[in-house]
Amino acid sequence: MHLFRLDASIRTTGSVSRALADTAEQAWLAEHPGATVTRRDLGREPLPGDLWGRAALSMVDPTAPAAPEAVALNERLSAELLEADAYVFAVPLYNWGVPASFKTWIDLVLLNPAFGGAGDRPLAGRPAVLAMSRGGGYGPGAPKEGWDHNSPYVRRILAEVLHLDVHVTEAELTLADVTPAMAPLRGRAAELLKTGHEHAALHGRRIAELVVRA
């Protein structure tokens, strides 16, 4: 058994998305002790931001220089996905959108035509946990309702472009403990975090079961 885990948080300690992913990974490993875990930590080791642009330009402009390093990196990223049986993605909300490191990863992965809209869907149906965190509140009635442009994008990429079977766990109000203006929301934040970890454990076990059945 082989699990692929990706982290996009710039925080190495105190990260809620990492903590939720830890819970999901531990639940998965409890079902598959000794299994292989491949890690891609975009927070600690971000990918070169210019590679995709140079590679994409070389595809549409015959006069542009080739980008062999982008091709080589795509092969490594593709192999990490193709070799895994299940996945854990930890993606926080930054500035109401997708972390730049994760967007770079997506762009480079999609250089592989097999993963695009017209590809042969090599990952179709494989189970994945998506662990998401948001510092504020973005639900119905919240002042920032509709400002979360991260969650819909990431879900769509994983489920409708890569065709993974995605199970989502999430937590909101994660900045309540360190933001004085959010002090009245700390109780609610604790409840949401507890529920997030419960769902992460449930989903970790679930994707372990799905791998066995497959």
47-66: average pLDDT: 91
Residue 55: half-sphere exposure toward Cβ, Cα within 13 Å = 19
Taking the model in full, what pTM does it have?
Answer: 0.95
Q: Are 126 and 87 in contact (CB under 8 A)?
A: yes
- C-alpha torsion sign, points 200, 194, 151, 131: negative
- CATH code reported for the domain at 2-213: 3.40.50.360
Alpha-helical segments (H) within the chain:
16-31, 51-60, 68-82, 100-109, 151-156, 186-213
The string of DSSP letters for 87-118 reads: EEEEEE-BTTB--HHHHHHHHHHTTSGGGSTT
Q: Are 144 and 137 in contact (CB under 8 A)?
A: yes
Q: How confident is the model at residue 174 (pLDDT cuts 50, 70, 90)?
A: very high
> What average pLDDT is seen over the chain?
95
pLDDT tens by residue, 188-214:
999 999 999 999 999 999 999 999 776
pLDDT tens by residue, 60-119:
898 999 999 998 999 999 999 999 999 999 999 999 999 999 999 999 999 999 997 777
